[in-house]
Amino acid sequence: MGRSAGLFAELKRRNVPRAAVLYVGAIWALAQGIAQLAPVFGFGDWVTRWFVAAGAIGFPFWVAFTWFYEFTSEGLKRESELDPADPAAGARGRRLDKWIIAVLVVAVVLLVTNQFVQRRDATSRGAASSGAAGAATAAPIQVSPRSIAVLPFDNLSRDADNAYFARGMHDLILTRLSEIGELKVISRTSTMKYGSRPENLRQVAAELGVATVLEGSVQKSGNDVLINVQLIDAKTDTHIWGESYQRTLDNIFGMEGEVAQKVADALRARLSPAESERIAAIPTHDREAYDLFLRAEFLLDRGVINFDKDSLGQAVALYGQAVARDPEFALAFARKSYAENMLGRIGGEAATEALYAQGHQDAERALVLAPRLPMTQVALGYSAYFGRNDPVAATAAFKLVLDLQPNDLQALEALALIERRSGRIEVALDRLRQALALDPRNVILISTLSETLMMVSDYEGAQTWSRRARMIDPDNADAMAREAMAGVLMNGDAQAALARLEGEAPLVRAMRVYLLYLLHRNDEALAELRSLPSGGFDLYFNRSLLLARLLQLHGDAAGARAGYLQALSEAMPKTRVASPVQSAWAWSNVGGAQIGLGRFREGQDAINRSLALVDPAHDHVDGPRLLYANARHFATAGRADLAVPLLARALAAAGVGLTTSPRMLWLDPAWDPIRDSPGFRQLLGKYSRWAPQAVPVGGSGTPG
């Protein structure tokens, strides 16, 4: 005891404890300062972590140093050179005390200011997100000075039919700006709601996360065109640059490239030689071909947004007329290919293969004419993915697009869809978040992100983004239905999900039917389903099959038989479509209908054909869904020996969260015929921690 007391007294005499406190305080203060300054210089949290780690390593060396040396008024001296009885020894200790107090005051001040900044950032993030309530605190939004939103151009033409021309000029300028790598350019999907002259530019900029806004107007009268554009600093509402372009339809070609170059100069964005060449390129010198192209673009946009095959068909025809006038019009060939692939996705089954073939031919023609044109590679990517079911070729094309212009929204979104289907779901999520930074109010993109979060069973995140979509678009039925389904899969409370469903949109009503079915309220589900029209969602929610099943549960054998026959007649023609995924779902529905009709062998053959078309090991979107759906078909026939292995594979598959969660083992009435089988009981045991707190009346299983 005496020896340790003597050591402590010697440490105090040499001011080692004071030096240790001073060292720790200095490291703390410096770490606070580095943490606040690192974002300014673009450094991450790793800088602070490494500094603290280095400080911890240096601490014992500092303590050893202060044992042997001491700072005096005459400089640094060895302890052996100092007289312990010297009156200056006490002054040295008091001087260290003052330094300790000063360092601790600085550290506390930095801590308080850091907390204030974090609270302020959190408040501004909450205002800017306008609907991400309930989400985890996000990183502060960094607004780049080279970020821009191009608002819809005012159509000042007397002829309202010239709206296509104003929209076309807007889109061409937007496209050119998007080709400049140093610019962050917000997509038109997010800007179109604001109109040409919003009252509060600062609010618009905050919602879109940009520093500048480009406004414009277009006036077309006969052969004459007047286009006015101005670039505005949104924070100060001051004019940065503006210009008027008085042109005729014969010399308007390339004007969009001139505007893009002037905006880049005003924002001090540097262009690579390839970028300069691309934005200066003139797509066509044929006045009529140019006008036909702009009209086609207007219709293509309407068709994609509204899933309107008539508009898409008209766009394809107009692109065809444009390339007939100018066979060197590469951009028109590329856009025609894109339109044909979009039409193939939503058009009639008989025309799909021909459309995909023509789309591939047009993409190949665009490649010959302009291999480095980003839209050429976009067209090739869509043609490979939708038309030829070749994700490898599609991925290569879309990655080349991003090499040419890293912020290409279509390439980011398409790659995300390909990557999540192949099982690289986290990579897909990163791409979707990057795309949303460029198109923050795109509800389709938000819906895709929400859906992808469900694939990794992040149901809380999926609900948050679904609510975000509904704040942007209150009538968004897809977001409402997805929020309800995510809630059921997360907590098993179908009753609460049902109570939150509002409105009469078909998709919302379809979800209401499904929730009533889960709650064993079959009479209500049957009444709702009978009044619900078919179409729009029959790929995953087959109205005729569910109607037949509900009638069967209701004891109406004749009605159920008629329903299964109807489902069979609807599904058989769809088995012949070009898309393997759509064909697989059609065969699955055939299998369910055949089993319902008592033709088990025919149903089993159809299900086997369904599973042969889509490999769950490579398709993580539809693979788990098909396993689950086909397991349900077998379960209705009481065939646990066939249902349970498929169900077990579905629950173990990556991406299964989009389809189901283990909670559905207790909730889904489809499993009632096989609940007492050893295999199903084994699954209940394996996933027992997922058991819901309450099982609906009529359900089975042991509540958790």
Q: pLDDT tens across 596-625, in order? A: 999 999 999 999 999 999 988 889 999 999
Class of 147-282 in CATH: alpha beta
- Tens-digit pLDDT profile for residues 327-384: 999 999 999 999 999 888 776 554 577 888 999 999 999 999 999 899 999 999 999 9
Look up residue 284 and give its two tokens.
């066509």
- Tens-digit pLDDT profile for residues 391-421: 999 999 999 999 988 889 999 999 999 999 9
Q: What pairs with residue 449 in β-bridges? A: none
Query: Closest by alpha carbon to 208, among 231, 228, 192?
Result: 192
- Structural contact between residues 263 and 148, judged by C-beta atoms closer than 8 angstroms: yes
Three-class SS of residue 664? helix
* Residue 686 backbone dihedrals phi, psi, to 5 degrees: -60, -35
Note the Cα 115 to chain centre separation in Å.
Answer: 31
CATH 3.40.50.10070 domain residues, the chain: 147-282
The pLDDT value recorded for residue 127 is 36
CA pair distance 419, 395, nearest whole angstrom? 9
CA pair distance 596, 609, nearest whole angstrom? 18
Q: In angstroms, how far is the first alpha carbon of the chain from the final one?
A: 58
CA pair distance 166, 162, nearest whole angstrom? 7
Q: Percentage helix, strand, coil, to 5, in the chain?
A: 70, 5, 25
Q: Which amino acid is at 209?
A: G
CATH 1.25.40.10 domain residues, the chain: 293-440+451-461
The pLDDT value recorded for residue 10 is 64
CA pair distance 410, 387, nearest whole angstrom? 17
Lowest mean pLDDT among 129-133, 169-173, 480-484: 129-133
For the entire predicted model, the pTM comes to: 0.73
- Structural contact between residues 494 and 475, judged by C-beta atoms closer than 8 angstroms: no
Q: Is the pLDDT of residue 699 over 60?
A: no
- Tens-digit pLDDT profile for residues 27-60: 767 776 766 665 444 444 556 666 777 777 777 7
Looking at domain 293-440+451-461, its CATH superfamily turns out to be: Tetratricopeptide repeat domain (1.25.40.10)
**Separation in Å, CA 160 to CA 217, 229, 245, 324, 444:** 14, 20, 21, 27, 29
Match 């021309």 to its residue by tokens. Answer: 165
- Structural contact between residues 44 and 38, judged by C-beta atoms closer than 8 angstroms: yes
The pLDDT value recorded for residue 135 is 35
- Other Cβ atoms less than 10 A from the Cβ of 542: the count is 23
- Tens-digit pLDDT profile for residues 480-499: 999 999 999 999 899 999 99
The pLDDT value recorded for residue 701 is 42
User: How confident is the prediction for the chain on average, in pLDDT?
Assistant: 83
Q: Which residues of 437-449 are buried (b: 16+ CB within 10 A; e: fewer)?
A: bbbbbbbbbbbbb
Q: Is the pLDDT of residue 6 over 50?
A: yes
Q: Which residues of 583-604 are buried (b: 16+ CB within 10 A; e: fewer)?
A: bbbbbbbbbbbbbbbebeebbb
The pLDDT value recorded for residue 642 is 97
> Quick one: pLDDT band at residue 550, thresholds 50, 70, 90?
very high
- Structural contact between residues 665 and 690, judged by C-beta atoms closer than 8 angstroms: yes
- Tens-digit pLDDT profile for residues 575-588: 887 778 889 999 99
Q: Which amino acid is at 699?
A: G
Q: Please state, for a pLDDT cut of 90, what percent of the chain lies above it.
A: 50
Cα-based torsion angle of the residue sequence 13, 17, 20, 25 in order, rounded to the nearest 10 degrees: -120
- Structural contact between residues 257 and 176, judged by C-beta atoms closer than 8 angstroms: yes
The pLDDT value recorded for residue 582 is 86
The pLDDT value recorded for residue 539 is 52
The pLDDT value recorded for residue 251 is 83
Q: Is the pLDDT of residue 672 over 60?
A: yes
- Tens-digit pLDDT profile for residues 60-76: 776 677 666 666 655 56
- Structural contact between residues 204 and 234, judged by C-beta atoms closer than 8 angstroms: yes
The pLDDT value recorded for residue 80 is 61
> Quick one: pLDDT band at residue 542, thresholds 50, 70, 90?
confident
* Residue 230 backbone dihedrals phi, psi, to 5 degrees: -145, 140
Lowest mean pLDDT among 272-281, 421-430, 631-640: 272-281
